């Protein structure tokens, strides 16, 4: 009877799984068209493999070699000794735990487990402390890779603000996990995790003397090989998770239709988070609901989450605050949903997986909030963080928003063609005004003008192609985009919208804004020129 019930339950689970899969892809396919959806999936995964995975793998190889050099020549031991005094008061861990933080920072989450299974290392810990290493090590996993990647995208200060945020999140996650363990197993508070016996004490440690050149060469090659292994291990996460998230995040192509190109999608996540974006705008300072795709992807794989950043930059929806929050959450979570079970299983405490996941979820949220607050504090104290001169091209952009008329109701902003839909409002998500707002925000800290001078917010090209009414509508869209941009800057400077500022604050706001918008009126002369 029991076997029959298990068989029925097994079939029900299979049917339920089939319904979910068909429901997800059927819904997406009904919007995009089945051939377009399949082509987009394959082309997106292919582009991610060539332009993202191999780029991340290159970073992994370099950072892996650098990490091994640090280990070989005592830099890791030096860092461990420097950080040791912080362990007990902040994390309630022995000083040697700092070695785990350094190792996971230079490599990945599982590095902490290889240390924890070493009796000489684990003998310093009580059981509740050893179990909490899963959360402690994960919070620093792939940290060097995340920071190097963010710097390569043109940000310099923000990743280190994010690192500090991840540090704060790690404290919360580690101590919360310790609290959960002690509450469920009170005896673990006093029991030692391991005891070294005589056999361990007599272990033969032979050190082979080799030349300096050989040590350097071996370290570089061995570390690079480890980087290749890490790079290969992130391929499934990047291709599967990122492709799914991108389809749910991005919309149709530039012409507003689906043609099966890479990075097209149904824009479900921006729609969903747009309804509750005030929560994430308040917690993380996100200016666009699509940015929530990064934290969601970080749950499974931080390498996959990093692949979203270049596309966000291309769309002009990312800023320094988002980079700081991304770094904090990316480091703190670093794919913990896909690694916590295996890590606790390796330690022999798989039954505590749900506790570890809950504690780390809270820690990651705290890390993101802390990074946002740190960014605001830095910007308030020192001004907007200085960008890295060796970064992306957008940091040298000093031109206004160039709006080119390419057809009736179609304009080109930068490299994107936007179709103005009849009946939409400037505040509507995806409107032309929103696009202009995003471009102005992305250029806000990069424009350099002489004192007392301003740059035109918009430069119209071929505007004479439009009818009078359409041209007037376009001018109103630009005016609305500029007003929203001005309000965004006011929120960042004074934490209040423009209509709540004092006259002195309005004057300071206008002085800080490098753009101006001169409303061009439609004249009879222009109508004559059209004719």
End position of a domain, from candidates 376, 392, 408 = 392
As a whole number of angstroms, the distance between CA 425 and CA 481 comes to 11
* Cβ within 8 Å of residue 149, ≥6 positions away: 56, 59, 306, 309
Alpha-helix residue ranges (DSSP H) falling in 185-317? 198-201, 212-233, 235-236, 243-249, 268-274, 277-284, 293-298, 302-306, 309-315
Q: Does 448 map to a domain?
A: yes
Q: Does 183 map to a domain?
A: yes
Among the listed residues 37, 421, 35, 50, the one whose alpha carbon sits nearest the alpha carbon of residue 263: 37
Same domain, 454 and 307: no
Backbone φ and ψ for 401, nearest 5 degrees, come out as -70, 115
Whether this model's pTM surpasses 0.75: no
Q: How many domains does the chain divide into?
A: 3
Q: Give the pLDDT confidence of 448-495 residue by residue, as tens digits.
A: 666 666 766 665 555 555 566 666 777 777 778 778 888 888 877 777
Same domain, 382 and 505: no
Give the strands of the sheet with 410-413, arranged side by side. Answer: 416-419, 410-413, 401-407, 458-461
Say yes or no to pLDDT of 257 above 60: yes
Same domain, 271 and 387: yes
What mean pLDDT is predicted for residues 207-225?
74
Q: Does 201 map to a domain?
A: no
Same domain, 172 and 245: yes
Q: Give the pLDDT confidence of 38-62 residue by residue, as tens digits.
A: 999 998 888 878 877 787 677 667 7
Same domain, 326 and 181: yes
Look at residue 396 in the predicted model and tell me its pLDDT.
Answer: 30
Quote the domain boundaries for residue 416: 397-530
Same domain, 15 and 140: no
Q: Does 207 map to a domain?
A: no
Same domain, 179 and 282: yes
Same domain, 388 and 472: no
End position of a domain, from candidates 332, 366, 392 = 392
Q: Does 200 map to a domain?
A: no
**56-70, 246-260, 382-396, 414-428: lowest mean pLDDT where?**
382-396
End position of a domain, from candidates 343, 361, 392 = 392
As a whole number of angstroms, the distance between CA 38 and CA 269 comes to 20
Q: Does 203 map to a domain?
A: no
Say yes or no to pLDDT of 404 above 70: no
As a whole number of angstroms, the distance between CA 430 and CA 81 comes to 52
Same domain, 236 and 382: yes
Same domain, 299 and 231: yes
Q: Give the pLDDT confidence of 341-365 residue by residue, as tens digits.
A: 667 776 778 788 889 989 999 999 9
Same domain, 22 and 140: no
**156-170, 275-289, 442-456: lowest mean pLDDT where?**
442-456
Q: Does 206 map to a domain?
A: no
Same domain, 274 and 315: yes
Q: Does 386 map to a domain?
A: yes
Q: How confident is the model at residue 90 (pLDDT cuts 50, 70, 90)?
A: very high
């Amino acid at each position: 009877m029991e076997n029959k019930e298990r068989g029925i339950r097994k079939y029900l689970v299979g049917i339920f799984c089939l319904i979910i899969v068909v429901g997800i892809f059927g819904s997406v396919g009904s919007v995009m068209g089945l051939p377009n959806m399949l082509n987009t999936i394959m082309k997106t995964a292919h582009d991610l493999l060539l332009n993202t995975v191999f780029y991340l793998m290159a970073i992994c190889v370099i950072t892996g070699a650098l990490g091994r050099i640090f280990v070989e020549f005592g830099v890791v031991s030096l860092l461990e000794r420097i950080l040791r005094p912080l362990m007990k008061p902040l994390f309630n861990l022995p000083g040697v735990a700092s070695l785990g933080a350094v190792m996971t920072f230079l490599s990945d989450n599982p590095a902490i487990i290889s240390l924890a299974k070493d009796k000489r290392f684990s003998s310093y810990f009580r059981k509740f402390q050893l179990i909490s290493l899963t959360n402690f090590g994960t919070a620093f996993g792939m940290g060097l890779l995340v920071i190097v990647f963010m710097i390569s995208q043109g940000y310099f200060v923000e990743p280190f603000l994010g690192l500090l945020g991840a540090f704060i999140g790690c404290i919360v996650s580690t101590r919360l996990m310790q609290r959960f363990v002690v509450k469920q197993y009170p005896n673990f508070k006093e029991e030692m995790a391991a005891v070294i016996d005589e056999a361990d004490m007599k272990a033969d440690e032979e050190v082979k003397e080799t030349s300096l050149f050989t040590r350097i060469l071996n370290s570089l090659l061995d570390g690079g090989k480890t980087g290749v292994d890490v790079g290969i291990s992130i391929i499934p996460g990047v291709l599967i998770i990122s492709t799914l998230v991108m389809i749910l995040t991005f919309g149709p192509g530039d012409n507003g239709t689906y043609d099966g190109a890479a990075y097209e999608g149904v824009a479900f996540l921006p729609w969903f988070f747009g309804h509750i974006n005030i929560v994430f705008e308040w917690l993380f300072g996100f200016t666009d609901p699509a940015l929530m795709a990064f934290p969601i992807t970080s749950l499974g794989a931080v390498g996959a989450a990093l692949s979203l950043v270049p596309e966000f930059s291309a769309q002009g929806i990312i800023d320094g605050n988002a980079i700081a929050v991304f770094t904090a959450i990316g480091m703190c979570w670093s794919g913990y949903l896909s690694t916590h079970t295996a890590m606790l299983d390796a330690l022999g405490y798989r039954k505590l997986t749900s506790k570890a996941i809950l504690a780390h979820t809270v820690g990651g949220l705290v890390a993101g909030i802390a990074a946002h607050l740190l960014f605001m504090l830095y910007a308030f104290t020192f001004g907007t963080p200085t960008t890295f001169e060796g970064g992306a091209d957008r940091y040298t952009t000093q031109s206004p928003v160039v709006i080119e008329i390419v057809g009736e109701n179609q304009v080109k902003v930068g490299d994107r063609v936007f179709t103005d839909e009849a009946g939409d409002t400037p505040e509507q998500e995806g409107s032309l005004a929103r696009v202009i707002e995003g471009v102005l925000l992305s250029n806000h800290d990069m424009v350099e003008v002489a004192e007392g001078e301003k740059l035109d917010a918009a430069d119209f090209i071929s505007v004479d192609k439009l009818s009078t009414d359409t041209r007037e509508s376009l001018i109103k869209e630009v005016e609305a985009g500029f007003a929203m941009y001005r309000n965004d800057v006011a929120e960042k400077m004074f934490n209040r919208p423009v209509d709540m500022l004092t006259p002195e604050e309005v004057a300071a706001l206008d002085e800080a804004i490098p753009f101006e918008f001169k409303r061009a009126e439609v004249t009879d002369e222009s109508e004559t020129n059209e004719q």
